[in-house]
Amino acid sequence: MKHILRLLTALLLAPQATLDGVEMVAPAPGSAEWTRSNLFNDSNTAWNAGVAGAEQPLPLRSLVPPVLLPDGSEFRTWEPSQPVQPRRTFVVAQRHPHASDDNPGSDDRPWKTIGRAAKVLEPGDRLVVREGLYREWIRPARGGTGPERILSGLGLIGGLVEDNYSRDCGWRRVQGLHESGGIKLHYLKHTLVRRNVVQGTTSADGLWVDHSNHNSRITQNIVTGAEGNAFYLEASYGPNLVDHNIFWGSSGEGMLLAHTGHATIAHNLVGCCRGQPVQIALARPLPTGRMVDLETKRFSSSDHNRLIGNMFYGFESRGPKIPGDMDNESDYNLFINPSTVSPFDLSSWLQKTGFDQHSHVAVATLEFSPHDGTLRGLLPTLECSRLGPITRDYFDVPRSGATSDVGPFLKLNLKPGLLLLPKRAGNEKRP
């Protein structure tokens, strides 16, 4: 199996982020909140330009079909619609019999480490990383400007992170460190994270979106077999939208929100995780609270989060863990269990929490195969109010009208075997 890591301008990995067994560290010049976006090297300039939807110096284009961000604005990307032709192509292939960092980095004489490439690559170059176990810190020596160049930085404004694949990330069971993930991203502003796949981690969360995230959308991702939380949204302030994802078989929570407020969790399928389907951790109050954005001086909260239209499978008696009396909301969710276990006690849950007045309990047997990406079993149905930014289901089938089906799939897509890994750019070679 060969993995190719696309060094896109749209994908900026934060310190200690991991992808395909590679630990990547972005250079951080002094400030923990430093950002580079659209040629703006000053964080305040970049922030104001992102909020204003600035089109200079890089032109923006719509996606097909269009995608809305949590605030209802259309996401537009400065990544070109056609692949950019690289200036030069280099190869890293750790397991090649003649691999060496003294080589020229060609296909027949590849480099052995990614770090060697990071010292050599110039703006406009492409790096192909082939199969191997790469335990190293990546420090790019230089960046660039324009859609055909490599950008580096701690954060991403108006970025598109899509069609990436991470498998068996993490290499040692050291739970106390807890700073790695199959895909880990920091400081997302007005950013779209979609159609990424994480299959298996060791002592690492699956998809981790960490610190200062605002008006970003995480959608149509699949995370299976994480030895940690399947999804983790940390230290963020809304609006943020997490929708139409498949989170399955983690050893921790299905979804964990910590120091996070004003997030919407909608139309996800969360199944067979050992922890809760969703846990919203209570943020510390001031003066010991955590600052979640240095630029706007915002402190953490756990309020005004919404869980709407999700499917929770195989959690038996476990429901979401949500702080009360903080204007959080949970409703129109489906609690599904197989007939071999006791159903979720919705009436007791409602009496205890006041949540999920319109949610339902259902009996069904579901199986998800991470190897072929197939979900087997017939999903039950329920309708909920359609949220404004949600205009399509997992398969990009339009959602219209005032109400829509809960879960990631419209009823017209429901059948005993759903293939959830259609061939898209970037995943044709997945096993």
What are the tens digits of pLDDT across the range 147-159?
Answer: 555 444 446 778 8
Query: What is d(CA 268, CA 176) in angstroms, rounded to the nearest whole number?
Result: 29
Q: How confident is the model at residue 87 (pLDDT cuts 50, 70, 90)?
A: confident
| Alpha carbon of residue 229 to chain centroid | 12
Q: What average pLDDT does range 321-338 have in this prediction?
A: 95
Query: What is d(CA 412, CA 369) in angstroms, rounded to the nearest whole number?
Result: 22
Lowest mean per-residue pLDDT among 19-33, 53-67, 84-98, 396-410:
19-33
306 CB contacts (<8 Å, ≥6 apart)?
263, 264, 265, 266, 328, 329, 330
Residue at 100: amino acid letter = S
Q: What is the pLDDT of residue 22?
A: 32
pLDDT digits (tens, 9 = 90+) for 181-201: 999 998 898 899 999 999 999
Q: What average pLDDT does range 41-50 have in this prediction?
A: 50
Domains of the chain by start residue, with CATH: 35-78+153-419 (2.160.20.10)
Q: What is the pLDDT of residue 176?
A: 56
Instruction: Flag whether pLDDT at 340 surpasses 90.
Output: yes
333 CB contacts (<8 Å, ≥6 apart)?
307, 308, 309, 310, 311, 312, 356, 359, 406
Alpha-carbon torsion, ordered 69, 70, 71, 76, to 10 deg: -10
Residue at 122: amino acid letter = E
Cα angle value 365/366/368 (rounded, 5°): 155
Quote the tokens at residue 420. Answer: 């959830």
155 touches 184 (CB < 8 A): no
Q: What is the pLDDT of residue 86?
A: 82
| Nearest residue to 158 via CA among 296, 14, 48 | 48
Q: What average pLDDT does range 352-380 have in this prediction?
A: 92
Residue at 359: amino acid letter = S
Residue at 300: amino acid letter = S
Alpha-carbon torsion, ordered 309, 312, 316, 319, to 10 deg: -60
Residue at 179: amino acid letter = E
Q: What is the pLDDT of residue 233?
A: 97
Query: What is d(CA 200, CA 249) in angstroms, rounded to the nearest whole number?
Result: 9
Query: What is d(CA 84, CA 77) in angstroms, rounded to the nearest whole number?
Result: 15
Query: What is d(CA 104, CA 360) in angstroms, rounded to the nearest whole number?
Result: 61
Query: What is d(CA 202, CA 30) in angstroms, rounded to the nearest whole number?
Result: 31
Q: What average pLDDT does range 68-89 have in this prediction?
A: 84
397 CB contacts (<8 Å, ≥6 apart)?
410, 412, 413
Quote the tokens at residue 114. Answer: 């990614």
Cross-strand pairs, 360: 334
Q: How confident is the model at residue 324 (pLDDT cuts 50, 70, 90)?
A: confident
Q: What average pLDDT does range 396-407 have in this prediction?
A: 94
Sign of CA dihedral 199, 205, 211, 213: positive
- Which phi and psi angles does 49 have, rounded to 5°? -65, -40
Alpha-carbon torsion, ordered 105, 429, 86, 128, to 10 deg: -20
Q: What is the pLDDT of residue 49?
A: 56
Q: How confident is the model at residue 140 (pLDDT cuts 50, 70, 90)?
A: confident
Within the chain, how many helices (H) and strands (E) appear? 3, 33
Q: 3-state DSSP call for residue 48?
A: helix
> How many residues does the structure list for the chain?
431
Taking CA atoms, 233 is separated from 88, 208, 304, in Å, by 37, 6, 15
Query: What is d(CA 278, CA 194) in angstroms, rounded to the nearest whole number?
Result: 20
Beta sheet of 222-224, edge-to-edge order: 165-169, 197-201, 222-224, 246-248, 269-271, 311-313, 334-337, 360-363
Q: What is the pLDDT of residue 272?
A: 97
Enter the DSSP assignment of 411: G
Element (H, E) at 375: strand 374-376
Instruction: Flag whether pLDDT at 122 surpasses 90.
Output: no
Q: What is the pLDDT of residue 386?
A: 95
Instruction: Flag whether pLDDT at 304 surpasses 90.
Output: yes
